[in-house]
Amino acid sequence: MEFLIKAAQLILSLSILVVLHELSHFLPARWFKTRVEKFYLFFDPWFSLFKKKIGDTEYGIGWLPLGGYVKISGMVDESMDKAQMAKPPEPWEFRSKPAWQRLIIMVGGVTVNLLLGFLIYIGVLYTWGRDYLPLDGATYGLHPSELLKEEGLRDGDRIVAVEGEKLATIEDVAKAILIHDARILTVERDGRQEQVVLGTDIADRILDRNEKTLFTPCVPFFVDTLLPEGTAKDSDLRKGDRLDRGERNIHALLRAVPRSGGRTQG
């Protein structure tokens, strides 16, 4: 059933795109008094699912959902009527129109496709926006890369400013370090503000080590599920337990467990 729904959605979206594209050829042709012989949604080799002639134009729906077309009188690359091409041009034919009118008729489809693409992306960004975590939203601090730890940063540090300037996102901090050679970070640590000064060649060393992620948000550790086949099932851990020690986040816990030697952690 889900497959049928997805297929129907695909055909519906394709139908809308095709109709808008072909309308962008059809309407300019009609405005310039050019005869349109056919306007079809989907292709109709051998037969069509529906057709109806209104005035000079036959409107129809084909059975092959791979696009659509408009057949404009006197358009050489569209018309298969060779006898018509051998006759003198008629006033209603495409080939008898001025060059600027022919150009508008031909580029209508491309223009609408371009505008529609912009509108779709505007709608997507307006509806879903861009997912990011504001710098001040990292309430449990940040987990710095190993190289940044060597420079003096610690798990749980909250970055307040970079070179005295407040930045909006974690990505902005990384860009400031890599691109703008920012070195002075003001961090909040254990309730106090401190400055961490990075080395002059920090950007080069980050690139040499290929550290792709400089910061990740620290998150608190809560026990949700104990796997039946895991070793934790024999421990005192219970669902809902929270890590209550200095590390305060999953990154520090993963480093602390191998070093614990079986001792109680928190």
Question: Which residues are annotated as catalytic?
Answer: 22
How far apart CA 214 and CA 159 sit, in angstroms, is 13
Q: Can you tell me which residue has the tokens 């129109």?
A: 97
In this structure, the strands spanning 36-43 and 142-144 are unpaired
Only one residue has tokens 């792709």, namely 212
Amino acid sitting at position 22: E
Measured in degrees and rounded to the nearest 5, phi and psi for residue 95 equal -70, -15
Phi-psi region of 208 (alpha: psi -120 to 50; beta: other; left: phi over 0): alpha
**Helix (H) and strand (E) counts in the chain:** 7, 9
Nearest to 110 by CA among 22, 50, 28, 44: 22
